[in-house]
């Protein structure tokens, strides 16, 4: 005879796994449902500007403005060929990271005769559908858009005009 305990059948392990799993799931749901109400959402006027290298080798100046206020955002992208206005909600996750959720987007300035670089149009129209999102990371006083790889700094940021 051996003193080893006999292994339990797999069904006996199930109740022991369900309870911790259910508690973990409830905690995750609670954290996510409270994310929009967290006070960590950035506020203020942000700006980004620079040049876009087109496929034909030419440079196109472009500027982006982002206003974050009361869990809402307004974004305006301007170039010599197009202007895009976007609005939507600002939510924050449990760790205070901001996420912009697109509700409306309006593109103006495009015409059939206008030749616009395909890659530029893809980048400008990124996330044009309702519900698209842009995740922002805080980098000092500035915000970094993960999906668009764009840095937005406060309008009064000291290095804004040096870029």
Contacts of 150 (CB under 8 A, 6+ apart): 48, 64, 144
Instruction: Count other C-beta atoms under 10 Å from residue 88's C-beta.
Output: 22
Structure confidence at residue 34 as a pLDDT band (50, 70, 90) = very low
Predicted pLDDT at 13:
54
pTM of the prediction? 0.64
| Res 73 pLDDT > 80 | yes
Rg over CA atoms, the chain: 24
Burial of 48 (0-12, 13-18, 19+ CB in 10 A): buried
Predicted pLDDT at 47:
93
User: What is the per-residue burial (b if ≥16 Cβ within 10 Å, else e) of 8-37?
Assistant: eeeeeeeeeeeeeeeeeeeeeeeeeeebee
| Res 142 pLDDT > 60 | yes
Residue 5 token pair: 């305990």
DSSP letter for 57, please.
Answer: S
Predicted pLDDT at 162:
45
Structure confidence at residue 38 as a pLDDT band (50, 70, 90) = very low
Predicted pLDDT at 8:
56
End-to-end CA gap in the chain? 80
Q: Name the phi and psi angles at 85, rounded to 5.
A: -110, 130
Structure confidence at residue 152 as a pLDDT band (50, 70, 90) = very high
| Res 111 pLDDT > 60 | no
Structure confidence at residue 120 as a pLDDT band (50, 70, 90) = low
């Amino acid at each position: 005879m051996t003193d080893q305990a006999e292994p339990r059948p797999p069904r006996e392990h199930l109740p022991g796994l369900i309870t911790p799993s259910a508690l973990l799931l409830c905690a995750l749901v609670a954290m996510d449902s409270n994310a929009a109400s967290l006070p960590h959402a950035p506020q203020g006027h942000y700006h980004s500007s620079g040049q876009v290298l087109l496929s034909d080798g030419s440079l196109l100046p472009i500027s982006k403005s982002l206003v974050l206020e009361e869990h809402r955002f307004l974004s305006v992208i301007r170039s010599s060929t197009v202007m895009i206005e976007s609005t939507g909600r600002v939510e924050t996750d449990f760790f205070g990271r901001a996420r912009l959720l697109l509700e409306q987007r309006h593109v103006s300035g495009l015409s059939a005769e206008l030749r616009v670089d395909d890659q530029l149009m893809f980048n400008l129209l990124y996330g044009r559908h309702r519900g698209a999102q842009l995740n922002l990371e805080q980098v000092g006083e500035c915000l970094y858009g993960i999906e668009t790889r764009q840095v937005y700094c406060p309008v009064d940021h000291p290095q804004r005009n040096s870029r």
